[in-house]
Structures are given as structure tokens and as C-alpha cells.
Copies of this chain bind each other. A is one copy, B any other.
Amino acid sequence: MSEPVTTNYVGRDLPRLEGRAKVNGAASYIYNLRLPQMLHAKLHRSSVAHGRIVRIDTSAALALPGVHAVMTAQDLLDLIPDPYFGPAFHDQPILALGKVRYIGEPVAAVLASDPHVAEEAAALIEVHYEELPAVFDEVQAMSSDALVHEELRPAGTFPDLKHLKGRRGTNLALDFRLRRGDVDQGFAQADHVFEHRFKVQPVMHVPLEPMVSLAEPEGDGVLIHSATQMPSFVRLEIARLLGWSENRVRVKTALLGGGFGAKVYIKLEALATALALLVRRPVRVALTMQEQFFHITNHAATLRIKSGVTKDGRLLARQCEVWWNGGAYADIGPRIAQKSGFTAAGPYFIDHVSIDSYAMYTHLPPAGAMRGFGVPQLVWAYESHMDMIARALQIDPLALRERNILREGMEHATGTVMRDTAIDQVLAELRKRMDWDQPVQRGQAVVRRGRGLAIGVKASISPTTSVAMINVSADGSATLYCNTVDMGQGSNTALSQVAAQVLGIAIDKLRVVSPDTAVTPFDMGTLGSRSTFHMGHAVRLAAEHARQQLAALAQELGLPADTALPDLFRRKYGMSAGNVVGTGTYTSPYAPVDPSDGTSKNITPNWMIGGTGVEVEVDTETGQFVVTRLVSVADAGQVINPGIVATQLSGAAIMALGGTLTEEMIYSDGQLRNGSLAFYKIPGTHDIPAVMENAAVESAQSNGPFGAKGVGESASFAVAPAIANAIEDAVGVRLTELPLTAEAVLRALRQAQGLDLAKD
């Protein structure tokens, strides 16, 4: 407490705590972990999109020298009689059981000490299928007879899914409805009604550390080492599958080589656990980069949006329909349909709103959470739509937004009153940085210039809980225990800044323990940009709790409040002994959703707001275009660490750039045609705009820890519509499907000129 250094860490641009270890190679990742006596599991995958499994012939695989075992779903049933997992629905089998539902689904696992032997043997397995009709499109899935599941099996943990239990004959996993006012009345009152349809392609998260789980029997329990964003959830779900108490399941993680939502909830952990418990040896299930395409994707989506507007550009009514392509297993898709559904009408004040958000099953790989949790798809639609309206009404698109945005104290479509939402400031900052009041130098030659912007908002996931512990040792050093996973977002550094500042100790005296459910307390998960806010609160409370105890100790001993900690402990215990343990628990406030109209008086403890401005150059002869400037502006509340916020903004923007311009999983009848980074192009150094700017507007989240809120997703929301808007600004053509390619621009240019590209 009397450290001679300043301990005002919050707001300082400290380097990452783990930076040096990452650079010199000392940082450890689960993917690199090898355990004694470990077996590698390699998977045989379904070759049909929908089919009944008639017979699995494992004899050739078993005959291969070095193969330890071959396991199918049947082998797991003694250990796990009901081997279906998932956070929202218990629909996903650990290995395909009876049926397969997408091409690439795991059907059998081969175990061997040598991973190459396991891989070779996996290819020798022969599976005979009775093929069944399949459906791949999210809109067609609504009416198709090709049913992905015979019966819906919602998990008990989400009360609002319970009514779906046992529902049969549908591919609709969840239908979220929001109704405010009367959209028909709104459309009737409007001077103009606009309706557009948009599409978002399937993409993959591409964490550079592929998904990996190792499990090993540990006494009468199991220890799971997993590259997961949610150790607490994995423990719960594995305990449920096994019928064990939670504390027989131990989940450890480490630094992650990226997550982006690919590693939330439960993925490979159930398979690794089942195999390890069956063979009583450590088992490693690690995907190759190629295999990741078969395990989790974003949600492809079709969006229909219709707005009624006055002639001076005031939004009166908006109707949205969103079809989410959830693939064969629900994962967290229904939650995306609901949570993102809330905000489908955008950051605008509109009297009459109607939203229908459909979580659909299809015969594609499962879709789940991905940075933005559905919001980028919505923003793509509503912010393209806004520019199309502005253009039709000949109103400046920024002015149109300013006229309609939700301002402090206004009521969001859900009924939640907006608090601490600097939407206006984000727009103002974009106006300034984009020199919006200056005309664009469009150019007169083949290449034309244009600019565009867009803005989106996202609610945080709520109600959720974070718990933190801080243990102060007798020498005045301290250890922070929390389940927030540092997957590159710098959480260890930011949370340490909070803890050290509150404790009043030097930050190099504080260490963070990697998540280990035997040690680190509960946290809902590292996702949805929730950690700075939720875990930041818990860490602050834990540090305050420790500090109060230290102050009480000083008082008890009659010592000044600023007594050095080592002296305090020595006086208390007669030697360097003892600890002070502080704990903090934070649960976000929340008001339940009214199932009749989808409203809630409090859907989120804080709002994330992100806007993007871009400048483009479009070659009118080839359709080639270049994003020459990209400005990301976010409301980050009070910033804990400016450097980390800046890299989160640029990281999210570049990721969104990939999903806007080059990334697309291309299917033919459910068969992925480009499942490799050779054919699936993520942004490289040369794809980054020449000018990139990141800005956090001055604001404060009044209910946040030190006024802070999360910012990991904000810069991903608005990239795609900003670019599409800029392209139209440059060359007058409108693209409504992602990705935005040169070919699509050229087709649109030719179409606008009355030409057909195919005939050209």
C-alpha cells in the first residue's frame, strides 16, 4: 500500500504482460502440449450430407499396425448413454449416431501413438450410408421436407427454449419475435416504403491455433486441457454428459492462438474425454486447419428489411426478417437469433418495429458464435438499406443517420432505455475523420473514388456472472485468479491494471493464473466482449475486498494505513506468513424478455457501438476495387489500455475485411469446395488498407469498472456496409450479397449499362 511507484495503471498504454513470452517462443499453447502415454485421435468423417448409417467397417483400420483402437458412437454408449451435447440444444452427438447430417461430420475415431498411423487408419474405415434428401439454404429449410432433426431437444439451461421440447417436423430451432407499435400502420403513414433483401455468405473463424482438446483420466475424474474460451461451461457440460459432480471434471486452458467465437461452449472436449476415459490414457484430439472448416462456421444469413420513411428521412416503421443458417447442430445459434434479433432494426429510434429472427437447421457444418455474434450480418443489411434510402431520398447518408439515431434516454425497440451510448459521438468522430463536409475527389478516369460509412450497435450477453479471486502474499505480491481466457485480446494485462490499481501495488508484483477450473472460479466465458465489463467488475470487487481486509489489519495492529504490506504481514504473523484473499462476484442486471412481444426493460448492462468509414477506388473497367482508407471508431467507455483498444479495433476491422472481400466457404450440394487456406483467402499484409485509423471516442460507461466497457467486436460491425456504400458512392452500383468481389462489381456495372457479362 506504500509502494513508492505510481499505481495509477488504468488508462495507461502498458505493453502486454505476455508479449515477451509470445515473441521469444516461451508462451505455451494447448496445441503444443504432449502428455506421457498419449494417444492421437484422428477422425473419419461423413461423405454424405444426410444419411442413415447402415454399417461401419473398421476391420482394415484395426488391422493397420500401430492402431490402438477404433471407436464409433456405439462404443461410447456405456460411458455416456445420451451422448448429445450443446449449449442451447442437446442435439450434437459426440460421434454420429444412427445418422449423419453434414459432409465432414465425425463418424469414427482412430487412436494411435503415431498421429500419421491414426490418420492413415481413419481413411481405411468404410461407412455405408442410406442417403436421404438434404437442405442447405436457410430460407428453403423453413419449408423443406428434408428434416435435419426428427425432434427438437432444447437444453434445460435456457428457460426460454423449454417450450420447444419435443417439437417435431420442423427445421426451425427458434423463432424470435419482437413487436413494437404497429408496422402496418407505420408503413401506411410513411411517404416512402423501401424493401431490400441481403445475403451473407458462410465464413470460418480461422483461429491460427486450431481447435484442440486433450483429456486424461485423473483419479476418479478427468482433466481436460482444451483451447477453449469457456472453461467453466466445458466443466458443466462434461459433468452433465458423464452424470458426475462438477468437481470431478477439471478443465485447464492456456493462452489461445485466437478464438473469435470458434472456441466457445463445447467443441472437441466431449470426444477427447470419452476416448480418454474408455482407453484410460491421455488422448489428444487436434484439428488441422482444413478440419476446422467442418466444426464451426459463422451463420450465413438471408435478411429482408423494409422501412417506412417520411420524405424528410424520418424512420417511422421497420420490419426485419432474418433467416440464420445454423447448419446441422444448433450450437449457440438460437441465442444469436434472439440476442442479435433484438437489434435487427439498428441504432435508430423507430415507433413501429417488427422483427422475426429464425434459427434454421440445415445440412451444413454447425454454425455458432463469431466475433459480433450475428450483429455484422444485421448491420450489413440495415446499413446498406440506410444508404439506399438516403440515395433515393437524396439525403446525405450521414445526415439521414443523425436524424434517426437513438440518443441518450431514448427507448430502444426492445423497450430498454439507452444509457451511456455515444452513438452521436461516434458519428461525429466519423464525420470529422472522414472530412465528410468536404466533397469527394471522385476522379474522371477509369478509376473512381468514393466513400461510405456505417454504424452498428450490439447488446452485451446478459445476465451473466463473473467471479474473481485475488490472493495477496506476505511479501506484498499478489495473484489474480479468474477464468477469463487471454486469447490475444490482452485481458490478462487489462485485468491486471485494474487489480494493481485497486490494490495499490506495482503491476509486476501481480501474476495471473491461467484458467483451471480446479483453481480459478466461475466465469460465464470469454466472449461477447463481456470480460472487461463483467470480469473487470469482479476483479475490481475482489481487489477492493482484499484492500479492505488489509486496511482492517493495519487498523487492528494500530499501524498507519500506508504500512508496507510485507511489514503488515510480519507484524501480524511474526514472520513472512499468511495471505489476504479477496473475492468479487459480478452479475449483470437484466430484465426478462416478454415472450409475447420480445421486449425487455433491460436487455444489456452496456451497449457496444462501432462505426466504420472507408474510402475506395474502383476500376470501372475491371470491377477491381481497393479500400484505401479505413477508419474504425468505437465507444469504448473509459479506456483501460489505449494500445490494446487500438489493436482490438484494427484486428476486428481486418477480420471483417476478410469476411467482406475474400472469405467464403463455397459448397456444392453440401460439399465444401475450398476447405483450405490455399483456396480460402484471409487478409494478408498486402490486403490491409494503406491508411487505417482507430479511435475510441471520449465517453464513460457509468456502470462499468472505471467507466470501461468491452470493445473486442465493435470494429467488426460496420465494415461490409461501409465498403458497399462507398462502392455505390464511387460507381453507382449496389451490391447486396457478400462477399464484395471485383466480379460482382463488374457484373453490376455491366448490368447498370444494360450489358450482360456472360455475353461480353
Provide the bound-state CA to CA distance between A247 and B507, in Å.
12
Roughly how many angstroms separate A477 CA and B469 CA in the complex, as a whole number?
A: 18
Determine whether the beta carbon of B578 is less than 8 Å from that of A245. Answer: no
Q: A581 near B: Cβ within 8 Å?
A: yes
Would A583 and B581 be within 8 Å (CB), given that A34-B36, A248-B511, A519-B519 are in contact? yes
- Residue-wise, chain A 144-161 has the 8 Å CB interface mask toward B (1 for contact) of 000000000000010000
What sequence of 0s and 1s flags, for each residue 570-598 of chain A, a beta carbon within 8 Å of any chain B beta carbon? Answer: 00111111110101010100100000000
Q: Which residue of chain B has the shortest Cβ distance to A280 in the bound complex? A: B26
**B26 in contact with A219 (CB, 8 Å):** yes
Cβ contact of A518, chosen from B34, B217, B513, cutoff 8 A = B513
Asked if A573 and B247 make an inter-chain contact with CB atoms under 8 angstroms apart, the answer reads no
- Whether A522 and B245, one on each chain, are in contact in the complex, defined by CB atoms closer than 8 angstroms, is no
Q: How far is the CA of A296 from the CA of B112 in the complex (A)?
A: 45
Q: Indicate which residue in B219, B481, B509 contacts A245 across the interface (CB closer than 8 Å).
A: B509
Within 8 A of B (CB), among A586-629: 587, 590
> CB distance A478 to B247 under 8 Å?
yes
Interface string of A2-23 (1 = CB under 8 A from B): 0000000000000000001100
0/1 string, A479-515, CB within 8 A of B gives 1:
1010000000000000000000000000011110100
Note all chain B residues with C-beta closer than 8 A to A572.
Answer: 587
B509 touches A578 (CB 8 A): no
Q: Which residue of B lies closest to A508 (CB)?
A: B245
**CB of A474 within 8 A of chain B?**
yes
Contact of A578 among B508, B585, B590 (CB under 8 A): B585
**A471 at the B interface (CB under 8 A):** yes
| Complex partner residue of A219 from B21, B478, B587, CB under 8 angstroms | B21
Is A521 located at the chain interface by the 8 A CB criterion? yes
Known: A513-B519, A521-B471, A574-B590. A247 touches B463 (CB 8 A): no
Determine whether the beta carbon of B475 is less than 8 Å from that of A246: yes
Contact: A465 with B578, CB < 8 Å? Answer: yes
CB-defined contacts of A36 to chain B, threshold 8 Å? 34
- Cα A220 to Cα B27 with chains together (Å): 11
- In whole angstroms, what is the CA distance A2 to B493 when docked? 41
A281→B572 CA distance, assembly (Å):
39
Q: Chain A's interface: helix, strand, loop or mixed, by majority?
A: mixed
A593 to chain B, nearest CB (A): 12
Q: How does the 8 Å CB contact mask read for A308-337 relative to B, with 1 for contact and 0 for none?
A: 000000000000000000000000000000
Interface residues of A in 243-273 (CB under 8 A from B): 245-248
- Whether B575 lies near A475 (C-beta < 8 A) is no
**Quick check: is A239 within 8 A (CB to CB) of the other chain?**
yes
For residue A573, which residue of chain B has the nearest CB? B465
Known: A509-B245, A519-B513. A576 touches B157 (CB 8 A): yes
Residue of B nearest to A159 (CB): B574
Query: Nearest Cβ in chain B — how far from A503, in angstroms?
Result: 13
A478 contacts which chain B residues (CB < 8 A)? 247
Q: Would you call B573 and A463 a contact (CB within 8 A)?
A: yes
Closest chain-B Cβ to A71's Cβ sits at a distance in Å of 22
Residues of chain B within 8 A of A576, CB atoms compared: 157, 236
Q: Is A577 in contact with B522, judged by CB distance below 8 angstroms?
A: yes
A693 to chain B, nearest CB (A): 34
Indicate if the CB atoms of B581 and A581 lie closer than 8 Å: yes
Q: A247-B473, A473-B247 are in contact. Are A577 and B465 (CB under 8 A)?
A: yes
Give the contacts of A135-184 with B (CB-CB under 8 A).
Answer: 157
10 nearest A-B residue pairs (beta carbon): A247-B477, A465-B577, A581-B583, A521-B579, A245-B477, A246-B475, A247-B511, A519-B519, A465-B573, A467-B579
A interface residues (Cβ-Cβ under 8 A, vs B): 20-21, 26, 34, 36, 157, 217, 219-221, 232, 236, 239, 245-248, 463-465, 467, 469, 471, 473-479, 481, 508-511, 513, 516, 518-519, 521-522, 524, 572-579, 581, 583, 585, 587, 590
29 A-B Cβ contacts within 8 A? A21-B220, A34-B36, A239-B475, A245-B476, A245-B508, A245-B509, A246-B474, A247-B479, A247-B509, A247-B510, A247-B511, A248-B511, A463-B573, A465-B573, A467-B579, A469-B469, A469-B581, A471-B521, A479-B518, A481-B519, A511-B518, A513-B518, A522-B577, A524-B577, A573-B587, A574-B587, A579-B585, A581-B583, A583-B583
